[in-house]
Amino acid sequence: MMTITQLRKAWAITKKDIQMYYLKGPVVIFGILFPLFLFLAFYIDRKLSPEFLIPGLIAMTLFFTSTSVSPVIAPWETQMKTLERLVSCPLTVRTMIFGDILASFLFGVLLSVVPVIIGLAFGVCVRAPVILSIAIVIGAFSFSSLGLLFSTIPTDLVSNVMMLSTLVKFPLIFISGIFIPIEALPQWGVAIASLSPLTYFTDIARFSISGNSYYPLYLDFTLLIVSALIFLMLSIKFHERALIRRL
């Protein structure tokens, strides 16, 4: 259980991450434009309704923004020798991890508003805004925790972490019902899609806009929360093990 003092220290780490890593033009552009261009490449010359496409755009934007910088914070700080300064401060590894996750979480939640605005411009109506908002919050935390899990490799080479991150993130985009509805997949495809937390967020986003979902909402939320907790616990455990190797 984190104390008020540790929470304040986590917030200090969050502000440091935002100033050093997130408030950069390329990061913001990558978080918005990359999912948008991927969306347009799939949308052009296809007779698909905005009600189907916009939830996928929201899911991609939230996923990419929440996992864009968090995987490389630890390697960067190891490379710049700033990790020793953090370790010498009176804070725990859990506080450091929570601060990094919170920065990624805020970044993902903020930029996920952009595809919602795009959807409204296309005439898409959000039928369940409260459900979508709750899903964005939980999804951002889950994906941010996943991003921190990528950075548990004890290396100061950003390229190594990014290679692993890309190797996992891109397949998740294509198996999570963003481009192809879950109900259109074969049974083996549904089984693979069920392993991805992005699948459950996309399903909730589709329900919030079109009113249709493949899984029951309670199952979507339950598995999204479970994935967030698993990623968080694994991130803390692996970072605690990797910390000694980084110093």
Count of domains observed in the chain = 1
Mean pLDDT rounded to a whole number for the chain:
83
Rg (CA), the chain: 18
The DSSP code sequence of 84-139 is HHHHTSS--HHHHHHHHHHHHHHHHHHHTHHHHHHHHHTT---S-HHHHHHHHHHH
State residue 227's pLDDT score. 94
Q: Is 67 helix (H, G, I), strand (E, B) or coil?
A: coil
Q: What spatial distance separates the first Cα and last Cα of the chain, rounded to whole Å?
A: 26
Question: For residue 204, which of 227, 175, 169, 178 has the smallest C-alpha distance?
Answer: 178
CA–CA separation, 210 and 188 (whole Å)? 26
Per-residue tokens: 150: 């990528």
Residues 59 and 30 sit within 8 Å (Cβ to Cβ): no
Question: For residue 77, which of 98, 55, 100 has the smallest C-alpha distance?
Answer: 100
Query: What mean pLDDT comes out for the span 61-90?
Result: 76
Q: Name the amino acid, one letter, at 216.
A: P
In the chain, which ranges are continuous DSSP H helix?
4-17, 25-43, 50-66, 70-79, 83-87, 93-111, 113-121, 129-150, 158-175, 187-193, 197-210, 217-246
pLDDT tens for 162-221 read: 788 888 888 888 888 888 888 888 888 888 889 899 999 999 999 999 888 899 999 999
Does residue 1 register a pLDDT over 70? no
State residue 12's pLDDT score. 82
Q: Quote the pTM value.
A: 0.88
% residues pLDDT > 70 (the chain): 87
Q: Is 196 helix (H, G, I), strand (E, B) or coil?
A: coil
Query: What mean pLDDT comes out for the span 15-44?
Result: 70
CA–CA separation, 58 and 46 (whole Å)? 19
User: C-alpha distances in angstroms, 38 versus 44, 55, 74, 150, 186?
Assistant: 10, 14, 28, 23, 24
Residues 52 and 124 sit within 8 Å (Cβ to Cβ): no
In total, the chain counts a number of residues equal to: 247
State residue 229's pLDDT score. 94
Confidence of residue 31 (pLDDT cuts 50, 70, 90): low
Higher pLDDT residue, 196 or 21? 196
- What domain range includes position 193? 4-246
Query: What mean pLDDT comes out for the span 98-108?
Result: 88
Instruction: Output b/e per residue, 85-100; b: 16+ Cβ within 10 A.
Output: ebeeeebebbbbbbbb
Does residue 114 register a pLDDT over 80? yes
